[in-house]
A and B are shown apart, each in its own frame.
Chain A
Amino acid sequence: MSKTIEGLRYSEDHEWVKVEGGTALIGITDFAQSSLGDITYADLPEAGDEVEAGEEFGALESVKASSELLSPVSGKVTEVNADLENAPEKINEDPYGTWIIKVELSDPSQVESLMDAAAYEEFTNK
C-alpha cells in the first residue's frame, strides 16, 4: 500500500502540493515513486521559469521508464531542489519529504481544485 499524507493536495498525475504562504512546494507521491521504481535522473527546470498547470516542467528517469513531471499549479519557479542533481534517489527514499520545485502561485485557487488525501487514496485504489 502506498502512503498519503494529510494536509497535502494531490493531482491526478500523482504530484503533491504543499502550500506555504504564497508558495507551493511540489513533489511526487509515494504511489508515483513506487510505480516508477528506482529514479536515476531528474531533468528539472531553472529558477525563474514559468510553469503552467497541467503542463510539463521536467522529467524523471528510472530504470523502467522516463516520466514527465506535470505541474499541478501555475506560477513562477522560485527554487529547484539542487540535491536531486546528484541524489535523485532521495525521491524514492522520502517522497513527501523531498520537494522538487517551489512555485510562486499565480492563482492560489488552483490548489482548491486538487484532491485531498482521502480523495487521492480513493483515486489510486480505483
Chain B
Amino acid sequence: MKYYDKLIFELSKEGRIGYSLRKNGWTASTDSIPAGLRRPVPAALPQVSEVDVVRHYTNLSQMNFGVDTGFYPLGSCTMKYNPKINEEIAGMKGFQSLHPLQPASTVQGALQVYYEMDKSLAELTGMAHFTFNPCAGAHGELTGLMIMRQYHLLRGDLKRTKVIVPDSAHGTNPASAAVCGLDVVVVKSNADGLVDVEDLKPLLGDDVAGIMMTNPNTLGLFEKEILEIAELVHGCGGLLYYDGANMNPLLGVARPGDMGFDILHLNLHKSFSTPHGGGGPGSGPVGVCEKLVPYLPVPRVVKTSAGSFAVIGRAGAGKSNAAKNAEGCSESAGEVSGFLGNFLVILRAYAYILMIGKQNVKLLGKLASLNANYVKEILKDSYKLPIPSVCKHEFVFDGLIDDGASKASDGKGATTLDVAKRLLDYGFHAPTIYFPLLFHQALMIEPTETESKETLDDFIDVMKKIAVEAAETPDLLKTAPHNTPISRPDEVRAARHTILKYQDEETNPN
C-alpha cells in the first residue's frame, strides 16, 4: 500500500489559490453581525491549488479498504458486494433530476418504483405494506415503534409501555425504544444462545407493548422457539417487532411475517446491496401486517383505481389536515422524514431485486448460510467456538484456542484484537470484534453470499496461519499490523485526550 500521511493543512502555502475570480464590486458589511458571533481572526482554511487538492484526496482514497478492493467479513454488517448496475440505474438523469414536490402525474415512473418495491418486499417478508420514508435502519426502528405505540394508543390501551429486548440484541433496539418513550425490559438468553422462553413468560402482561427480536439472532442462531414466543406475546396483547439487520440468511427461504412478526424494518444497505453510507444516505423501510397498515407514516404511494400512482397524506401544496384525513391517513403515526425517504437508495435496491430475479432469490439466504458454516467448521480447530450448532449467515468465535501465552514476552497471550490487527497485514478487513458482549473475546464473522469458495479458502488459510503464529510467536501478533501505513494507533490515549479538529501542535498544544 502506498504510504501517504499528509494533512491538507500541511500542504497550505500563504496566498496559494485554486481559482481566479473577478474582483467583487459589492461592498460586504459584517457590521450587522453581533460582535460576539464574529470571528476575531479569519478561519484557518488551507490555501492550496486545485492539483494539490486532487492529489491529496486521491492519495487518501487509495488507502481506503472497501468491498471493491478486498474481502470484508464484518459480522452483523452484511458487507455484500454492491453490483455496478445499481449505480448505473441510479445515475440515470430521469431519476436524478426529480423534485419531491413535482406533481404526481410527472413522476409516475418513480412512484411505480415505490409501488413495485412495496410489493417485492411484502412478498419477501410476508408483510402487507411498507413505508420507505425512514432514512436509516435505526430510523426504521424508531418508526416501527411509533407504529406500535400508535396502535396501542388508538385502542385506548394506554398501559402498554414495556418493550422486551433480548440480552443479545443490537444496542439500537433498547435505544430506539427509549427514544420512543417506551421502557426497556431485558429477557435473558439460554445456554444455547437463544431467547429463554421460561425467562420471558413472567415478563408478559397487560403492560407489554411488544418484543423486539432479530432472527437469526446476533449470534447467527435461528430462534427455534419463535412460534411459541409469538403466541405468548400475542396472547398478552403485545406486538412482535423484527429487526431486519439479520434478514440476509432468510431471503427467499423464510419470512418474518409467517413467524408471527407484526412490524419489521429492513436495512437496504445490508440485505439489498446498497452502499453502506458512512452516515448516509441510507434507507430503512418498515413493513407491517394488515391490521397495522392504517398507522404507517405519511406520505405514502398508492395505486389508484384508474391504474396510476398517487401520493397520499402529503403535506405540501397547502393541503389541510382534513384533506389528509380524507385520503385515509387520519390514524397514521405521522411524518418521520421529509417526503418519501432516500429515493436513489431505494432505486438501487429495486435494481438489485430485479437483477437477482424470483428464480434466484431462493439462493441468497442459502449461500450466505453455507459460506458462514464452511468457514466456521474449518476454523473451529484453531478458534474457540462457544456455541457449536449450525449457524445462519454469521457466527462468533471466542478467541484463539492456543493464544501462545507461555511464549509471549510479557506472559500474556494474543487476543482477538491482535488477530484482527494481523489480518490487516494479509490484506483482509478485520471481522467485528468484542461484539456481541456475551463473550469476552468475541470475533464475529459474516462472509455473505457474494464471496467465491476461492476467496473463502484464502481467508481460511490466513486465519489458520495467524493461529499458528499466535501459538508460536505471539509477539508478532501483539505488534501487528506491520505492513499497513499506520501500525497500531494508541486507542486509549485517543479516547482519553480527544482532539477532534485540526490544530497546530506548536502554537496550540493540548
Residues in chain A within 8 A of chain B (CB atoms): 35, 38, 40-41, 61, 63-65, 88-89
19 sampled A-B residue pairs with Cβ under 8 A = A35-B440, A38-B491, A38-B492, A38-B495, A40-B492, A40-B495, A40-B496, A41-B495, A41-B496, A61-B495, A63-B491, A63-B492, A63-B495, A64-B434, A65-B434, A65-B437, A88-B496, A89-B492, A89-B496
Q: Nearest Cβ in chain B — how far from A69, in angstroms? A: 15
In the complex, residue of chain A having the shortest beta-carbon distance to the beta carbon of B442: A64
In the complex, chain B residues 490-510 whose Cβ is within 8 Å of any chain A Cβ: 491-492, 495-496
Which chain B positions have C-beta within 8 A of A61? Answer: 495
Q: Nearest Cβ in chain A — how far from B491, in angstroms? A: 5
Q: Nearest Cβ in chain B — how far from A99, in angstroms? A: 21
Which chain B positions have C-beta within 8 A of A41? Answer: 495-496
Which chain B positions have C-beta within 8 A of A64? Answer: 434
A40-B495, A61-B495, A63-B495 are known contacts; what are 16 more A-B pairs with Cβ within 8 Å? A35-B440, A38-B491, A38-B492, A38-B495, A40-B492, A40-B496, A41-B495, A41-B496, A63-B491, A63-B492, A64-B434, A65-B434, A65-B437, A88-B496, A89-B492, A89-B496
Which chain A positions have C-beta within 8 A of B440? Answer: 35
| A40–B498 alpha-carbon span in the complex (Å) | 11
Main secondary structure of the interface of B (DSSP, over half): helix
Q: Nearest Cβ in chain A — how far from B149, in angstroms? A: 25
Main secondary structure of the interface of A (DSSP, over half): loop
| A38–B495 alpha-carbon span in the complex (Å) | 10
| 0/1 string, B414-445, CB within 8 A of A gives 1 | 00000000000000000000100100100000
Q: Nearest Cβ in chain B — how far from A10, in angstroms? A: 18
State the 8 A-B residue pairs at the shortest beta-carbon distance, nearest first: A40-B495, A38-B492, A63-B491, A64-B434, A40-B496, A35-B440, A63-B495, A63-B492
Q: Nearest Cβ in chain B — how far from A90, in angstroms? A: 12
Which chain A positions have C-beta within 8 A of B437? Answer: 65
In the complex, residue of chain B having the shortest beta-carbon distance to the beta carbon of A64: B434
| A8–B491 alpha-carbon span in the complex (Å) | 33
Which chain B positions have C-beta within 8 A of A63? Answer: 491-492, 495
Q: Nearest Cβ in chain B — how far from A40, in angstroms? A: 4
| A41–B492 alpha-carbon span in the complex (Å) | 10
Which chain B positions have C-beta within 8 A of A38? Answer: 491-492, 495
| A38–B492 alpha-carbon span in the complex (Å) | 7
In the complex, residue of chain A having the shortest beta-carbon distance to the beta carbon of B491: A63
Which chain B positions have C-beta within 8 A of A35? Answer: 440
Which chain A positions have C-beta within 8 A of B492? Answer: 38, 40, 63, 89
| 0/1 string, B467-500, CB within 8 A of A gives 1 | 0000000000000000000000001100110000
| A28–B437 alpha-carbon span in the complex (Å) | 18
Interface centre among A40, A41, A89 (most CB of B within 10 A): A40
In the complex, residue of chain A having the shortest beta-carbon distance to the beta carbon of B415: A37
Which chain A positions have C-beta within 8 A of B496? Answer: 40-41, 88-89
In the complex, chain B residues 240-293 whose Cβ is within 8 Å of any chain A Cβ: none
| A88–B491 alpha-carbon span in the complex (Å) | 15
In the complex, residue of chain A having the shortest beta-carbon distance to the beta carbon of B434: A64
| A17–B124 alpha-carbon span in the complex (Å) | 54
| A35–B440 alpha-carbon span in the complex (Å) | 7
Q: Nearest Cβ in chain B — how far from A32, in angstroms? A: 11
In the complex, residue of chain A having the shortest beta-carbon distance to the beta carbon of B433: A64
Which chain A positions have C-beta within 8 A of B491? Answer: 38, 63
In the complex, residue of chain A having the shortest beta-carbon distance to the beta carbon of B440: A35
Which chain B positions have C-beta within 8 A of A89? Answer: 492, 496
In the complex, chain B residues 337-386 whose Cβ is within 8 Å of any chain A Cβ: none
In the complex, chain B residues 307-334 whose Cβ is within 8 Å of any chain A Cβ: none
| A40–B434 alpha-carbon span in the complex (Å) | 16
In the complex, residue of chain A having the shortest beta-carbon distance to the beta carbon of B496: A40
Q: Nearest Cβ in chain A — how far from B336, in angstroms? A: 27
| A65–B437 alpha-carbon span in the complex (Å) | 8
| A35–B508 alpha-carbon span in the complex (Å) | 36
In the complex, residue of chain A having the shortest beta-carbon distance to the beta carbon of B497: A40
| A35–B415 alpha-carbon span in the complex (Å) | 12
Q: Nearest Cβ in chain A — how far from B488, in angstroms? A: 12
| A13–B479 alpha-carbon span in the complex (Å) | 33
Q: Nearest Cβ in chain B — how far from A36, in angstroms? A: 10
Which chain B positions have C-beta within 8 A of A88? Answer: 496
| A61–B498 alpha-carbon span in the complex (Å) | 14
Q: Nearest Cβ in chain A — how far from B256, in angstroms? A: 29
| A9–B492 alpha-carbon span in the complex (Å) | 30
| A35–B495 alpha-carbon span in the complex (Å) | 18
| A38–B417 alpha-carbon span in the complex (Å) | 13
Which chain B positions have C-beta within 8 A of A40? Answer: 492, 495-496
Q: Nearest Cβ in chain A — how far from B427, in angstroms? A: 25
Q: Nearest Cβ in chain B — how far from A12, in angstroms? A: 13
In the complex, residue of chain B having the shortest beta-carbon distance to the beta carbon of A63: B491
| A41–B434 alpha-carbon span in the complex (Å) | 18
In the complex, residue of chain A having the shortest beta-carbon distance to the beta carbon of B495: A40
Which chain A positions have C-beta within 8 A of B495? Answer: 38, 40-41, 61, 63
| A41–B494 alpha-carbon span in the complex (Å) | 12
| A40–B440 alpha-carbon span in the complex (Å) | 18
In the complex, residue of chain B having the shortest beta-carbon distance to the beta carbon of A35: B440
| 0/1 string, B90-130, CB within 8 A of A gives 1 | 00000000000000000000000000000000000000000
